[in-house]
């Protein structure tokens, strides 16, 4: 499914835009939880669920680097949709 994007590549659909921005905020929280493996695991799962929701809505865009988790924490579903990013 193709979604309309604005001039800078963000989704026009408010739900998709909100979820895409959420990934960046969640990634920031993950980075802020350094040293707390349990918190990072919870945050990584929240990230995965948010990403899955985007995919369920038909979203298929690239993420800004700051919205990514380190490779080993990125959900498998991300690599299934973006095989070129698989480490």
Residue in the structure block whose two tokens are 């038909």: 58
The model's pTM is: 0.86
Q: Is 9 left (phi over 0), alpha (psi -120 to 50) or beta?
A: left
Distance CA 11, CA 18 (A): 9
Per-residue pLDDT 10s for the chain (87 aa) are 556 665 656 666 778 888 988 999 999 999 999 999 999 999 999 999 999 999 998 888 888 899 999 999 999 999 999 999 888
DSSP 25-55: HHHHHHHHTTT-HHHHHHHHHHHHHHHHHHH
Q: For residue 9, what pLDDT is reported?
A: 62
Beta-bridged to residue 12, according to DSSP, are none
């Amino acid at each position: 499914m193709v979604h309309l994007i604005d001039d800078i590549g963000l989704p026009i659909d408010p739900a998709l835009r909100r979820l895409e921005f959420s990934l960046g905020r969640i990634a920031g929280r993950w980075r802020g939880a350094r040293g707390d493996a349990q918190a990072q695991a919870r945050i990584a799962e929240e990230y995965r669920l948010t990403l899955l929701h985007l995919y369920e809505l038909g979203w298929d865009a690239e993420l800004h680097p700051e919205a990514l988790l380190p490779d080993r924490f990125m959900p498998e579903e991300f690599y299934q949709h973006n095989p070129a990013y698989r480490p």
